[in-house]
Amino acid sequence: MTRKRAGCARGVARALAVRGAVATAAMAAVAAPLGVSTSASLAVSLVMPQAALAADTTPIAPAEKLLFLTPHLHGVASQTELDYSLVVSAPPEKSTDRVRVLVASDDNAKSDATVSDASGKVTVPGDLPCNPIILYFLERDIAEMEQLTGGQRRYFQQRVRLALAAGPPITDATAQVDGKPVKARKIVIQPYLNDPNAARFPKYTSKRYTFVLADGVPGGVSLLLTEVPGDNGDFTHPVKTESVSFETSVRKLSPPARGAPSTPKTPSNAPRASR
């Protein structure tokens, strides 16, 4: 990783890890549109400019490092397409889609991997060494929470950030690649479980996020999952689940250099076909 890229990645990761008084003030500011009255929101404009400085001295949690600062695409050749299955299930309805990550440069060294789904190319935050499928998944979820609840996007972003910054355990798990088990690591968070504003969206209070990552899976990501449980936190009968799971990797031919022929010319001494 270049010094410039590493510095940028650290800066973004630190922004993800805002804690303490800065995080509290930020949460207070975005809580206001949810109907929560707070005097802290008046001071947030003074506190937020110091967020990067405050976060800079705070250790980044292992869960954050694993998700956002790990070069998951290391070892993936240029012009490789990683295919993921997107499944949204809200019984009795179920929909599926395919999400593609195109790794344009070897190891994604140029941070130029792109994401596309049925809608076409999708813009995700850049300058992080992680597999952009993680950012796609979280951005999609946060946008959906905003739409479903009427809350602010920043509020849900902050809840997820704080849940990861709190240091959730990373446990051993197993993933499947071509029908074979590989060692994996799993992170589980419930960002709204102790949210003081959860009464505004009780349906999602126990919503659970699961991240399964494995070095033996091309691109490092095996499964990303959200679950909205049924009554009384019943995860065996969820009312809605959304998952992104690895399917396969496809090696594509590199595009020909500019001006180069796409097919080789017939050698001059090759036998000619009879007329």
Average pLDDT over every residue of 246-259: 75
**Half-sphere exposure for 106 (CA within 13 Å, toward CB):** 0
Question: Does 275 fall in a domain?
Answer: no
Task: Identify the DSSP state of 230.
Answer: B
pLDDT at 27: 45
Asked if pLDDT for residue 268 goes beyond 70, the answer is no
Within-domain flag for 26 = no
272 is a domain residue: no
Taking alpha carbons only, the member of 18, 24, 22 closest to residue 59 is: 18
**Is residue 231 predicted with pLDDT exceeding 60?**
yes
Q: Per-residue pLDDT averaged across 34-54, rounded?
A: 32
**What is the average per-residue pLDDT within 42-61?**
45
Q: Rounded mean pLDDT of the chain?
A: 79
Residues in Cβ contact with 178 at an 8 Å cutoff, skipping those fewer than 6 apart: none
Q: 257 pLDDT band (50/70/90 cuts)?
A: low
Higher-pLDDT residue of 6, 80: 80
Global confidence as pTM? 0.76
| Segments forming the whole domain that contains residue 90 | 62-251
pLDDT grade for 7, boundaries at 50, 70 and 90: very low
Burial of 89 (0-12, 13-18, 19+ CB in 10 A): middle
Length of the chain in terms of residues written? 275
Q: What tens digit of pLDDT does each residue of 206-230 get?
A: 999 999 999 999 999 999 999 999 9
Residues forming beta bridges with residue 176, ordered by sequence position:
181
Indicate whether 175 pLDDT > 70.
yes
Q: Is the pLDDT of residue 48 over 70?
A: no
Determine phi and psi for 208, rounding to 5 degrees: -120, 140
Residue 128 lies in a domain: yes
> Is residue 47 a part of any domain in this protein?
no
- Does 76 reside within a domain? yes
- Does any domain span residue 265? no
pLDDT at 258: 57
Give the Cβ contact number of residue 270 at 10 Å. 8
Q: What domain count does the chain have?
A: 1
CATH code of the domain covering residue 104: 2.40.360
